[in-house]
Amino acid sequence: MNTFKVGIVGYGNLGRGVEVGLKNTKDLELVGIFSRRDPKQLDTTSPAYHIDELDSFKDEIDVLLLCGGSQKDLPVQAPQLAENFNTVDTYDNHNEIPTHFEKLDKVAKENNTVAVLSTGWDPGLFSLNRLFAEAILPEGDTYTFWGPGLSQGHSDAVRRVEGVKQAVQYTMPQEKMVEDVKNKKKVDYNKLSAHKRVVYVVLEEQAEQDKVKEAIITMPDYFEGYETEVHFIDEDTFASEHTGMPHGGTVLRQGQTSDKQTSVYQFALDLDSNPEFTAAVAIAYARAAAKLAREKVFGAKTVFDIAPGYLSPKDPADLRRELL
């Protein structure tokens, strides 16, 4: 088995997910965690360094897993780090992916590195399944349903409402519509009609339920237009039931192979921990990045550009024998 050395850049939920995920891999060895914070203050037993020390590890690290945020960190950090390192990121700003790709591709080709972008599950595995489904069933429609899952952005928005002490928002697919797609029925899908939003709120003392509820369900961009449920709970219930980070979803395509013959293609994920699973996908693509770099296939790569066998630690003959 090949072994590769990896580093983690950024130590939030995703970085911790990569750290724990690497315990499940025999072929990837963690060299260190690199953070903008004082490394002594990171709550970890892994080797930790300040990010300014990263360049001195250039010859010791095969791939860096970039665990910063898509809004501010990755657009700046990823192209810089791709000058000296092979990288994998989970950049998830769908509209900006083409720009991110172009920037990374230029840097990676100039510096003979591999930069894998937008791994994870959406973008990532969901994208892959949208591609497979459409390529195999050119006549048809693809539907993506997100959840049940915790939405960080919507939870943050609720927490900003006056009178809210703690809050969490779950995105739920409309199960009836999911079933209809699976059962080959026609559906009238749009993001709003296909999902509902379920909010759990712990109120500040003296806050008024009705006012808080109204402020939430009418919030433009976030809740307006969606079916929204608001549940008021106490702090103990919140602490015991709503501190996980579950997520998941389903990609479905109804396709006609001929006039009267329909196929339903389905891919679904049900994740107790969104950041740990996202990290697990990034880890598999880090392995792929290391193999591609060894083969001198430089440049930016997405999940569309990488043959699936590269994700596995097994060699091709074993894969054919065991999994084909």
Strand 48-50 and strand 63-66: the pairing is: unpaired
One of 83, 134, 141, 180 touching a copy of itself (CB under 8 A)? 134
Q: Which of residues 226-265 bind a copy of itself (CB under 8 A)?
A: 255-258, 260-265
Q: Minimum Å distance from CB 23 to a copy of itself?
A: 8
Does residue 270 bind a copy of itself (CB under 8 A)? Answer: yes
Does residue 21 bind a copy of itself (CB under 8 A)? Answer: yes
Name residues whose C-beta falls within 8 Å of residue 110's C-beta, 6 or more positions apart in sequence. 83
One of 30, 35, 130, 169 touching a copy of itself (CB under 8 A)? 130
One of 94, 160, 165, 185 touching a copy of itself (CB under 8 A)? 94
Does residue 18 bind a copy of itself (CB under 8 A)? Answer: no
One of 34, 170, 267, 298 touching a copy of itself (CB under 8 A)? 267
Does residue 182 bind a copy of itself (CB under 8 A)? Answer: yes
Task: Output 164 or 281, the one with its CB closest to a copy of itself.
Answer: 281
Q: Minimum Å distance from CB 224 to a copy of itself?
A: 28
Task: Output 23 or 72, the one with its CB closest to a copy of itself.
Answer: 23
Q: Minimum Å distance from CB 263 to a copy of itself?
A: 5
Q: Which of residues 37-56 bind a copy of itself (CB under 8 A)?
A: none
Q: Minimum Å distance from CB 295 to a copy of itself?
A: 12
Tokens of 21: 């995920």
Does residue 111 bind a copy of itself (CB under 8 A)? Answer: no
3-state secondary structure string across the chain? CCCEEEEEECCCHHHHHHHHHHHHCCCEEEEEEEECCCHHHCCCCCCEEEHHHHHHHCCCCCEEEECCCCCCHHHHHHHHHCCCCEEECCCCCHHHHHHHHHHHHHHHHHHCCEEECCCCECCEHHHHHHHHHHHHCCCEEEEEEECCEECHHHHHHHHCCCCEEEEEEEEEECHHHHHHHHCCCCCCCCCCCCEEEEEEEEECCCCCHHHHHHHHHCCCCCCCCCEEEEEECCHHHHHHHCCCECEEEEEEEEEEEECCEEEEEEEEEEECEHHHHHHHHHHHHHHHHHHHHHCCCCEEECCCCCCHHHHCCCCHHHHHHHHC
Task: Output 236 or 259, the one with its CB closest to a copy of itself.
Answer: 259
| Tokens 């103990």 -> residue | 236
Q: Minimum Å distance from CB 220 to a copy of itself?
A: 27
Query: Total binding residues for a copy of itself by CB under 8 A?
Result: 70
Identify whether the C-beta of residue 117 lies closer than 8 Å to the C-beta of residue 306. Answer: no
Does residue 106 bind a copy of itself (CB under 8 A)? Answer: no
Tokens of 219: 């919030």
Task: Output 76 or 307, the one with its CB closest to a copy of itself.
Answer: 307
Q: Minimum Å distance from CB 147 to a copy of itself?
A: 14
Question: CA distances (Å), 220 to each of 187, 197, 225, in order?
Answer: 26, 14, 8
Does residue 12 bind a copy of itself (CB under 8 A)? Answer: no
- Interacting residue ranges for a copy of itself, rule: CB under 8 A: 17, 20-21, 23-25, 94, 97-98, 101, 118, 123, 125, 127-128, 130-132, 134-139, 182, 184, 255-258, 260-273, 276-277, 279-281, 283-284, 287, 302-309, 311-313, 316-317, 319-321, 323-324
